[in-house]
Structure 1
């Protein structure tokens, strides 16, 4: 459940904050 949520969040952050590498990395590495 958490993994799915994290994956969605990562994708969402990548789409919304594509210019924000920090946020992108944070969302993907938060897994």
Structure 2
């Protein structure tokens, strides 16, 4: 996985703090 993708996702989570969405995306990533 490229670093910029991780940075983008981190920024997105920071800008839009949605626990539900974050959990879903985390489960998909894992």
- Provide TM-score, normalisation by structure 2: 0.49
Q: Which has the higher contact order (CA 8 A, sep 6+)?
A: 1
- Provide TM-score, normalisation by structure 1: 0.48
